[in-house]
Structure formats: structure tokens, C-alpha cells
Copies of this chain bind each other. A is one copy, B any other.
Amino acid sequence: VVGLGLIGGSLLRRLADQLPVCGYDADELTRAAARDAGYEVLESVGELVRTSQLVVLAVPLPELPAVIAEVAAAAHEHLVVTDVCSVKAPVLDLVRPTRIPYVGGHPMAGSERSGFAAADPALFDGAAWVLCLEDDTPLVTWLVLARLVTGMGCRVVPCTAADHDQAVARVSHLPHALAAALAAGAAGSPLALALAAGSFRDGTRVAATRPELSAAMCVGNAPALSIELDALIARLTELRRRLTDGEDPTDWFLPGHQVRTGWPRPAAGFDLTDGEDLRLRLLDVGRRGAAVTGIGKDGEGRLLLSCAG
């Protein structure tokens, strides 16, 4: 595990129960803290790569180019790389030229805290965990990682990096932008803030996120977020037009009502067996909003993937 902050540190703690695992962090104090907590901590990315078969990159996006160069310099033929960044296409673009087998990952878990001191092996319990499946992702590598992640009690959502980035723009980055825009509208309005209640409280909650974190998140996924912003602005412009024209907006409110009252939906289980087109069938699982929950064998020794959604 390269990078021992909240996510990387939690992963080191969680995996140590089931695998031989070691870590590295660019910060000397973080390395000392992890070592004091009883974990094996190495002194460079190169040393870690040379002694590992699977490397998890858990550093912020701006630090990834330098770290990936260090990984590539020490790469060996048994090496597999994954990561935990909240945006996937830019990471794919960075790793692909190294030709190291790579599966992009994104655990949908976190907290408002940060650093190794906040690391918690239970952070991922029950979480969705995206594992990206591109045309050139080795399926066997994807399955190894999926088994590791389902073994941690997570649901593995298979999708492409592009589909992931559009989806998180829609349900995570856009809500952060809207919360900030809504809260900003009440600046300089003490009367409005005195009358604000539940809808303002919930609609602006994530506006309390540190501005530089929200900004980095949006910039890192700018193309996908721009598409979502355009669609949202168009929807609001249509509501504005109806108010001007005196046209009933009830059916404008209907799609959002249907989505929200139907979410989250109850999950049903189903199985996938290994065979033809497994890659396409896995991508279809993610596209349907379902996930792989376990990987085992059927009575005849064939791969059997338990799914739910």
C-alpha cells in the first residue's frame, strides 16, 4: 500500500488480517506511526514494488505521476497495480503507457477525517467498490482483485473508467457544487438564514467540505462534471420558463420524485458463471446497478460469481 492516509491506512489495517502486507508513505512521521502500530513499512516505493505482487496506490491524484514513475522503474513481471482514486480515466491514462497490468479501483467509503491516525479497518464494511474493466484489462487480474475486495465484505461494481467518472460526477461531484451554490445564495441574508430549516440544512451539508478539496474533486473530473452541470442548468432553466409562462410545473417535479422515492432499491441475488462474454456480462452487472458480492466455484469446479442488485 503506497500512501498511508485515511484510505491507504485503513486498507493496510484491513488486509493485514488476511495477507502479508507492507506499506510506504512519503511522510516520515506517517511511516513511523504505521511502524509503531505494528505494520511492516518500507523506505521507498521501489523497495515496496520489488517485494510485492500487488501494489495499491492510495496517494492523492496530483502525486500520482511521480509515484507511477517510481513504480514503473521497479516493475517486475508478476506485478499488478490498482488504486483508490475518486476519478478513474486520468489514472488510466497515467498507468496505461507503463504496460503494467492495472485495474482501476474506487471504494465508495470515506469520512470527513484524514490521516493514518483516522485509519479504520472497518471503513470499507459493506461498501460498494468500483473495479474498472476496460477492453485491455486482463480478466484474470480483475478476478483476483474482485476476490480480494469481496473477501473484505465489499460489493464489487464492474464498470469502465469513463462510465465511473460520469456516474460520480452525477451523484457526488454535482451535489457538492449544488450545495456550495445554494449556501452561497444565502450569504449576506441573516433573515433567510434565520428562517432556514431542514431543506436548507440537508441541501447544503456538503458545502462545509474544505473548498480546496471540493475544487480538486471537480477539476479532476471536469469533462464529466461539465456535462452534468449543463444538464442541470437546462433543467433549472426549464423550471424558470414555466414559472414565467404560468405553466404548471407538477410534471417537472415528477422524475426527481420517482428517482428519490425508488432509491435505494431492494437488491435481489443472482449468479454469473464463467464462460463466453464474461467481460461484457460483468459490465452489464454494473450498468444495471448491481454488484459482485462473492467469487467461488460451482459443483464442477467452474468459477461462480454471486451478484446482487
A interface residues, Cβ below 8 angstroms from B = 108, 128, 130, 157, 159, 163-164, 166-168, 170-172, 174-187, 189-200, 202-212, 214-215, 218-219, 222, 225-226, 228-233, 235-237, 239-240, 243-244, 246, 248-261, 263-265, 286-291, 309
Contacts and interface: CB of A to CB of B under 8 A. Distances in A.
Number of identical monomers bound together in the oligomeric complex: 2
A209 to B, nearest CB: 7
Contact of A206 (B168, B170, B202): B202
B180 A289 contact: no
B239 A219 contact: no
What 9 A-B pairs come out closest when comparing CB atoms?
A: A190-B289, A180-B256, A183-B256, A211-B253, A171-B196, A175-B199, A167-B192, A194-B289, A207-B260
A139 B207 CA distance: 40
Given A181-B239, A248-B219, A195 B157 contact: yes
B199 A185 contact: no
A215 B249 contact: yes
Contacts of A157: 191, 194-195
Contact of A172 (B191, B197, B230): B197
Given A191-B163, A208-B260, A256-B179, A236 B233 contact: yes
Contact of A108 (B159, B197, B253): B197
A202 B204 CA distance: 8
Contact of A185 (B231, B250, B291): B231
Given A199-B206, A203-B203, 11 more contacts: A157-B195, A166-B192, A181-B235, A186-B259, A191-B287, A194-B286, A209-B257, A212-B250, A215-B252, A229-B243, A233-B236
A280 to B, nearest CB: 15
Given A195-B167, A199-B179, A239-B181, A187 B257 contact: no
- Of A193, A195, A237, most buried by chain B (CB within 10 Å of CB) is A195
Nearest to A168: B195
A233 B226 contact: no
18 contacts: A168-B195, A170-B192, A172-B196, A174-B185, A176-B199, A183-B255, A184-B235, A184-B255, A185-B231, A186-B259, A186-B263, A187-B255, A199-B206, A202-B206, A207-B259, A215-B249, A222-B246, A232-B236
Given A179-B256, A256-B180, A219 B199 contact: no
Contacts of A164: 195
Given A203-B202, A257-B211, A232 B182 contact: yes
Given A174-B182, A290-B194, A187 B236 contact: no
A265 B118 CA distance: 28
A226 B211 contact: no
A195 B257 contact: no
- Of A170, A194, A232, A257, most buried by chain B (CB within 10 Å of CB) is A194
A157 B229 CA distance: 36
